Structure 1
Amino acid sequence: MRNSLFDWNELSAFYTDIVLPVVDLINPASFDYSSSMVAKSGFDWGLTFKWIYLPWEYFETPENNVKPFDSPAMPGGLLAMRREYFVELGEYDMGMEIWGSENIELSLKAWLCGGRVVVAPCSRVGHVFRMRRPYSSKPGMDTALYNAVRVAKTWLGEYEKNFFASKPRGTKIVFGDISENKKVKERLKCKDMKWFIENVYPELAPKVHDEL
């Protein structure tokens, strides 16, 4: 039986895939290497990243140990994708500052605009999780919140109220020009956040008390 996943003649079928490895841990002091559990990436309504671990039973099926599976989001920087597709998606949001939410923005952009994000469980990359960031934010600016507001204003649509309920300080942020991001949405005829929740990340669906 032909396995289309590794059929090089059909790689064009995966042109819009963003592929992630399992992120293993490298100790920043000793550089000891340790394996991580296989996980998806997700986020909450504050656009804060989180890991979503798969149940052990999932791996009792042998093929699941190598078969890529969908992930709602990605950790920052650890990904493989076609350069042409990255450009087609508008690359990263160049209006963002320093650090934060660029991974959530690219994840949403991929899912909503015709692509997908998958984890290849047989691929592992070690990452040094530093004790602190070696750079600082701009004076007087919470760059992580600033970037998250840009994502919310561009991609969350009617659900941006859930973001601002989670991050009320975001309502005071002057988030800059997002017109180029809006053009990407229009050019690629991207879907909305309701579609993303229903088809990709149902666990994100607002609870009744979140709607009050």
Structure 2
Amino acid sequence: MFDVSIVIPCKNEVNNLKKTVDSIMNSENNLSYEIIIVDDSCTDGSCDFINKNKEIYKNIKLISALSLGAAGSRNLGATAALGKYLFFCDAHVSVPDYWLDTLIKTLEQNNAHIIAPVIKDMIKENSKGYGQTWNKNLEVTWLLNEPKNNGSEIPIACGCAFGIKKEVFDAIGGFDKYFQVWGKEDEELCFKSWLFGYKIILDTSVEVKHLFRSRHPYQVTYENVIYNFLCMAYSHFSNKNLAKALNIARNNYAFSSAAAKIMLNEGLIKQRKEYFNKRKFNEDYFFEKFNISFNNIKTNKIG
């Protein structure tokens, strides 16, 4: 048993994964932890260093996956986790000393369920993000102003690095099992957490460095991202707000093909009913709580 399980999904990160693992292993922490790496069908030998240096990395759990995507890889890693807390990290981050100790202490002191550090640009070190939110089109944007109080509530914890109580992760069903490749997975999990009655906070005293890139080291299509957006909207939105989301998404050329796949996914009908039965708040609560102006968008009228 460990205090923390750190799950790192990896897809073609040969230049970054070892640096990330070394940063975590070299950081000072009092809490016990394990590192779980999910090799999501890498084609560049990202994880070869583990087997080549077995004495150094002997305690790492390495799991092979068949192109599950960002959400699926994280869920798979979580199934092997023995920790009370799950920390999900990208394969291209650098962490400071006592980051786990500090984040979990802040989490518990504030009776919260998900904790996010400040995310610092690894290249432009003066650039920092204090959590994320949505604009009126439900596009994710960074919160750039440091809150006055440590432990402030935030709408979205960036998937770069955040921690969640494992019991909460299990209670909300983890990341959406229907998501494709990449896009919206951390946003959906945080949105769902708020609707189910859980709280997300920011620890301003911990900064995790993240490598921001202009492109993915694997293929991500517009259809993947639009599909995930529609999947999230269908799973959580009332008919009124679902119509608004469809109006936003239909401007993308991949909308028709993505929408067709949503319509043919019978599992989403069951998931939508389950989520509506389990949640404590509707989606308007979230939009109003965090001053997201999506509610102000009007649907197109016919005639």
The correspondence for 2:281, drawn from 184, 187, 191, is 191
The correspondence for 1:25, drawn from 105, 108, 121, is 121
- The match for 2:227 is 146
3-state SS in 2 of match to 1:70: coil
Consecutive unaligned residues in structure 1, runs of 5 or more:
28-32
In the alignment, is residue 182 of structure 1 matched against residue 264 of structure 2? no
3-state SS in 1 of match to 2:164: coil
CA distance in 1, matches of 2:104, 2:226: 42
| Contact 2:287–2:295 (Cα < 8 Å) also in 1 | no
In the alignment, is residue 210 of structure 1 matched against residue 298 of structure 2? yes
CA distance in 2, matches of 1:148, 1:6: 30
3-state SS in 2 of match to 1:121: strand
In the alignment, is residue 201 of structure 1 matched against residue 290 of structure 2? yes
3-state SS in 1 of match to 2:178: coil
- The match for 1:30 is none
In the alignment, is residue 134 of structure 1 matched against residue 217 of structure 2? yes
| Contact 2:116–2:131 (Cα < 8 Å) also in 1 | no
| Contact 1:77–1:103 (Cα < 8 Å) also in 2 | no
More helix by share: 1
Matches within 5 A, 1:98-109: 98-109=181-192
Q: Which moved more, 1:142-151 or 1:168-177?
A: 168-177
Deviation at 1:136, TM superposition (A): 0.7
3-state SS in 2 of match to 1:69: coil
CA distance in 1, matches of 2:121, 2:158: 13
Deviation at 1:78, TM superposition (A): 1.6
Larger radius of gyration: 2
CA 1:155–1:7: 2 relative to 1, 3 Å: closer
In the alignment, is residue 115 of structure 1 matched against residue 198 of structure 2? yes
Aligned length: 188
CA distance in 1, matches of 2:104, 2:249: 45
TM-score by length of 2: 0.55
TM-score by length of 1: 0.76
Deviation at 1:182, TM superposition (A): 3.5
CA 1:160–1:107: 2 relative to 1, 3 Å: same
CA distance in 2, matches of 1:130, 1:52: 19
Q: Which moved more, 1:18-27 or 1:33-42?
A: 33-42
* Residue type of the alignment partner of 2:118: V
* Residue type of the alignment partner of 2:247: A
CA distance in 2, matches of 1:20, 1:6: 8
CA distance in 1, matches of 2:130, 2:190: 16
In the alignment, is residue 94 of structure 1 matched against residue 177 of structure 2? yes
CA distance in 2, matches of 1:131, 1:86: 30
3-state SS in 1 of match to 2:131: strand
Deviation at 1:197, TM superposition (A): 2.1
Alpha-carbon RMSD: 2.9
CA 1:80–1:181: 2 relative to 1, 3 Å: farther
CA 1:85–1:197: 2 relative to 1, 3 Å: same
Consecutive unaligned residues in structure 2, runs of 5 or more:
1-101
CA distance in 2, matches of 1:69, 1:84: 22
CA distance in 2, matches of 1:106, 1:7: 19
Deviation at 1:39, TM superposition (A): 2.7
